[in-house]
Amino acid sequence: MCRTLQCVTLAARHLSPEREKKLVFLTARVHPGESPASFICQGVIDFLVSSHPVAQILRDHVIFKIVPMLNPDGVYLGNYRCSLMGFDLNRHWQDPSPWAQPTLHAVKQLIVQMNQDPRVSLEFYIDVHAHSTMLNGFMYGNVFEDEERVQRQAVFPRLLCQNAPDFSFSNTSFNRDMVKAGTGRRFLGGLLDDTSYCYTLEVSFYSYMAAGSTAPVPYTEETYTKLGRNVARTFLDYYKLNNHIKDNRPIHIHSSEVTGDSDRKGNGVGRGAGDRETERSRDVRP
């Protein structure tokens, strides 16, 4: 039975030693049955290692650490939600056992270690899931007392909504339900400082609703990977907006380069799609 943990590291190559390094940490498949998460993760990795000018700039300025599969035992066994030992790993971030939840324990130790490194600023943690009832891609975030931090947390999903035709900001929500205290998003949102942003990225198992359309568009492996590429691409927009990346190389990105013309039914696809979903359809488990 596979109990190893593999972490993909894409390091910034040309940062000066005295400059603080921005770090983005992504994980996927903590729930083994949520296979769309793997295609999104693959899309992120494929884009970041590509020769696309956006990917080259990101590699020059940001370190990406990616754990594509947090629950390898559960995936191997064909489980939907639990590990080999019968645990829902996304409820054990607070105190994972090195014996019963070894991958979770290892990732938590790595994140804690990196958070204590003065040379690194761990700015993003994103855990990728799939959703059984809602349409489109969307995010869950945390709730904070500081209103400015709340507003800053909304920046990345708003930018992603501009880049991804299937991502819905109106389906994105922020909460601090006690039942989710053991999830990666909630636990790390309380552990990391106020310059860090922790999200759950969800994507529908079946379809997304295009803007101006009355019929849902079925997801495919390719459209899942395109969402992953758009997630990666959005980091450039975010870090340029925050002046961390001041690269003046000309970049002419057309939507078709990343998302594909066949998927774009009109400008702003996905931005209003969540309005068709009601609160009662929300799956509150991840």
Q: What is the pLDDT of residues 16-27, one digit of tens each?
A: 455 578 999 999
Note the pLDDT of residue 173: 93
On whether residue 205 sits in a domain, the answer given is yes
Q: What is the pTM of this model?
A: 0.83
Q: Is residue 177 part of a domain?
A: yes
pLDDT band at 263 (very low <50, low <70, confident <90, very high): very low
Residue 3, domain member (yes or no):
no
Is 248 contained in some domain? yes
23: containing domain: 8-281
pLDDT at 146: 83
Q: Is 1 contained in some domain?
A: no
pLDDT per position as a tens digit, 46-56: 999 999 999 99
Q: Is the pLDDT of residue 161 over 90?
A: yes
What is the residue-averaged pLDDT of the chain?
Answer: 84
Q: Within a domain: residue 185?
A: yes
Compute the average pLDDT of residues 182-208: 93
Mean pLDDT along residues 259-280: 38
pLDDT score at 52: 96
Please state, in angstroms and rounded to a whole number, the distance separating the CA atoms of residues 286 and 278: 18
CATH number of residue 136's parent domain: 3.40.630.10
Active-site option among 148, 202, 222, 257: 202
Q: Give the separation between CA 152 and CA 279, rounded to whole angstroms.
A: 24
Is residue 2 situated within a structural domain?
Answer: no
- Per the structure, the count of domains in the chain is 1
Per the annotation, the verdict on 221 as an active-site residue is no
